[in-house]
Amino acid sequence: SISSLKQQAEKEDLNVYSFNTVSPEMIWQFGDKIPSIKINDSTYNFPDEHSFGLLANNLNPEDESLLKNNYIMEQRDTYDLNRNAPNKRGYKKRLVSNYYILTKK
């Protein structure tokens, strides 16, 4: 459950950010605001921290390349708030986010 992510990140002394849009349901279950790194298609607001957590929904190849050029990306988890299986009607990709730990190179 994503509700445990906030405590896990606090234990690891990491702030959690989002890249692209994270669903309101995910933010609500997380229990706090999640600042966004990607402001629009060409503007980014990267944090100053050496390491941080990142929730991302559907990273496109260009965004993933940008991140990997500047950070070491370690995928830690996938959070899926869907009640239906991926192959069933009603499954929403917007309710799925991958969680990464990013560390500056």
pLDDT digits (tens, 9 = 90+) for 19-38: 987 899 999 999 999 999 98
Residue type, 23: S
Percentage of residues in the chain having pLDDT higher than 70: 100
Listed in sequence order, the residues at least 6 apart from 57 whose beta carbon sits closer than 8 Å to its beta carbon are: 19, 20, 21, 22, 23, 93, 94, 96, 97, 98
Residue 22 is predicted with a pLDDT of: 86
Residue 13 is predicted with a pLDDT of: 96
Q: ∠ at Cα 43 (75, 59), nearest 5°? A: 30
Residue 86 is predicted with a pLDDT of: 87
| pLDDT(53) > 90 | yes
Closest CA to 17 of 81, 67, 91: 67
Burial of residue 50, with CB atoms counted within 10 A of its CB: 0-12 exposed, 13-18 middle, 19 or more buried:
exposed
What is the DSSP code (8-state) at residue 57?
A: S
Mean pLDDT of the chain: 92
Phi, psi of 87 (to 5 degrees): -95, 5
